[in-house]
């Protein structure tokens, strides 16, 4: 008895198996999970390579630890005084956070006031640029004379360094609104405040966060400059004191903590931007 072959659908109705275009396998970099893994692992790989090159250089050229300590010397300095270093890190972080908050508030208000009137902007902007051009290391001793040796001069120095990038980026965002949108707001009889609240400020938010990302890194620099000029607390003071004692590994441990603080604050601003402005990444390149 002959076997009856199974009925096959016509060739036009057959559904081909799902394959990538051209029959080629999809590269791992195009898979979303692999892409996220690569983006998360590349900074770690770069840091490991930098540490390995640093360690190799100190070993090959036989550099003494008081000139350039190797990574194990820096780790040993941290394990030698962990509580002390963490207290000084918290002091610098507090000064940075308070000063950066003041810089953000003052920067946003200054930018709104300057963009509200072209005449005021032309009159005041050169003065602001001149103030920003003054070397901050020259201002730090004067702040100690005016405000004392407490946290106030450090907080003011942080605000002074982080304030100008916030002003410039916010002004750029507020003045980049397309003309047709502004004319539409005028045609709808929107007041100046309504135009700012409904149109200009939302349009400027991506630029504002650009200034915040730059300002938060400068804020850490401002705290260290203030601690260099005067005071007995903070990671800047640790660097000055360890330099006077020729304890270079301790100075490098303080600098490593400063770097880690800057990175964490920077990505905290990035995460805040992604949480508050999810539409910004979809409408830009």
pLDDT one-digit tens code per residue, 105-127: 999 999 999 988 888 889 999 99
Predicted confidence band of residue 215 (pLDDT cuts 50, 70, 90): very high
State residue 59's pLDDT score. Answer: 84
Residue with tokens 């000029």: 229
Mean pLDDT score of the chain: 84
Q: Which pLDDT does position 99 carry in this prediction?
A: 96
**Mean pLDDT to the nearest integer, 76-92:** 94
Band of the pLDDT at 38, cuts 50, 70, 90?
low
Indicate the pTM of the whole model. Answer: 0.81
Task: Inform me whether the pLDDT recorded for 34 exceeds 90.
Answer: no
Q: Phi-psi region for residue 233, left (φ > 0), alpha (ψ -120 to 50) or beta?
A: beta
Select from 249, 274, 264 the least CA-distant residue to 78: 249
Q: Rounded CA gap, 220 and 95, in Å?
A: 9
Q: What is the pLDDT of residues 229-248, one digit of tens each?
A: 877 899 999 999 998 788 89
- Closest Cα partner for 112 from 176, 180, 196, 206? 196
pLDDT above 80 for 170:
yes
Q: What is the pLDDT of residue 12?
A: 45
* Angle at the Cα of 159 from the Cα atoms of 254 and 260, rounded to 5 degrees: 25
The pLDDT-based confidence of 37 (bands split at 50, 70, 90) is low
Select the more confidently predicted residue: 5 or 47: 47
pLDDT category at 30 given cuts 50, 70, 90 is: low
217-265-67-63 Cα dihedral, nearest 10 degrees: -120
Share of the chain above pLDDT 90, in %: 48
The answer to whether 198 touches 184, Cβ cutoff 8 Å, is no
Q: Which residues of 139-151 are buried (b: 16+ CB within 10 A; e: fewer)?
A: bbeebbeebeeeb
Share of the chain above pLDDT 70, in %: 84
- The one-character DSSP state at 19 is -
Q: According to the model, what pLDDT value does residue 54 have?
A: 87
265 or 244: whose pLDDT is higher? 265
pLDDT level of residue 284 (50, 70, 90 thresholds): low
- Identify the pLDDT of residue 191: 79
């Amino acid at each position: 008895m002959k076997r009856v072959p199974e009925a096959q659908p016509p060739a036009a109705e057959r559904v081909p198996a799902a394959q990538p275009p051209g029959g080629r396998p999809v590269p791992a970099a195009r898979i979303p999970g692999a892409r996220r893994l690569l983006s998360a692992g590349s900074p770690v790989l770069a840091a490991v390579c930098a540490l390995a090159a640093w360690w190799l250089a100190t070993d090959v050229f036989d550099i003494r630890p008081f000139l350039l300590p190797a990574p194990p010397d820096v780790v040993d300095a941290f394990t030698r005084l962990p509580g002390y270093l963490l207290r000084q890190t918290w002091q610098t972080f507090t000064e940075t956070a308070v000063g950066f908050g003041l810089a953000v508030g003052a920067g946003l208000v200054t930018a709104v006031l300057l963009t509200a009137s072209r005449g005021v902007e032309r009159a005041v902007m050169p003065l602001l640029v001149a103030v920003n051009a003054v070397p901050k290391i020259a201002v730090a001793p004067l702040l100690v004379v005016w405000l004392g040796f407490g946290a106030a001069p450090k907080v003011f120095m942080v605000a002074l360094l982080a304030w100008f990038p916030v002003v410039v980026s916010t002004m750029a965002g507020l003045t980049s609104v397309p003309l047709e949108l502004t004319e539409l707001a005028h045609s709808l009889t929107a007041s100046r405040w309504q135009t700012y609240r409904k149109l200009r400020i939302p349009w400027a938010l991506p630029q504002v966060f650009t200034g915040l990302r730059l300002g938060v890194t400068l804020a850490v620099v401002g705290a260290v400059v203030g601690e260099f000029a005067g005071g007995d607390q903070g990671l800047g003071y640790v660097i000055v004191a360890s330099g006077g004692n020729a304890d270079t590994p301790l100075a490098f441990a303080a600098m490593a903590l400063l770097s880690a603080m800057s990175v964490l604050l920077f990505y905290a601003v990035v995460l805040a931007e992604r949480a508050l402005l999810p539409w910004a990444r979809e409408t830009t390149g």
